[in-house]
Amino acid sequence: MTEKQEIFISVDIEAAGPIPPDFSMLSIGACRADDVEGVGFYRELKPINDRFDPDALKVTGFDLEILRRDGVEPEQAMAQFSTWISEITGSEGRPVFVGFNAPFDWSFVNYYFHHFLGANPFGIGALDVKALYMGATGCAWRETRSSMFPVAKQAPEQRHNALGDARHQARLFRHVLSLTQP
């Protein structure tokens, strides 16, 4: 039996607070880590409840009333995301969730996939770029901020846009991989 090819997918979310399901995932963005500018995925979701952390909303710039009106139903958004993942991995690929501070983003994605669709196509784990960078360079945890990476900085208008963030963290991931390859 042949192992499926790992397809690294950079995923970022914006949320109304620190934990699911107490707080809603407000947007999700993703791209293939090896094709940063290729076809990405982006959805803004209807909130699943009214709870929010004012600081989180300030960072994201989202308005819950607008998302209630214009956002995609979470079940539909997760079904669309699952389809997109299947399309880019094909039958021979296995999706690997890549995140910058992956535990945060993965916790929301995992909850939403299980709650709304019954399964998470990424499985039970995620690859964290911050931890990978620390391991590859031997740096201290405090040195794993994206601003410390020797890569082009993210354009301000792309910050806290889930797809823009996913593309930037894919570049960070590729940089870390380049450190480990001869």
Catalytic residues: 160
Q: ω before 21 within 30° of 0 (cis)? A: yes
Helix (H) or strand (E) holding 15: strand 5-15
Q: Judge contact between 30 and 113, C-beta under 8 A.
A: no
The residue type at 44: E
Q: How far is CA 82 from the centre of its chain?
A: 13
What is the token pair recorded at 172?
A: 């960070």
Across the beta sheet with 127-128, the strand order is 41-44, 25-32, 5-15, 93-99, 127-128
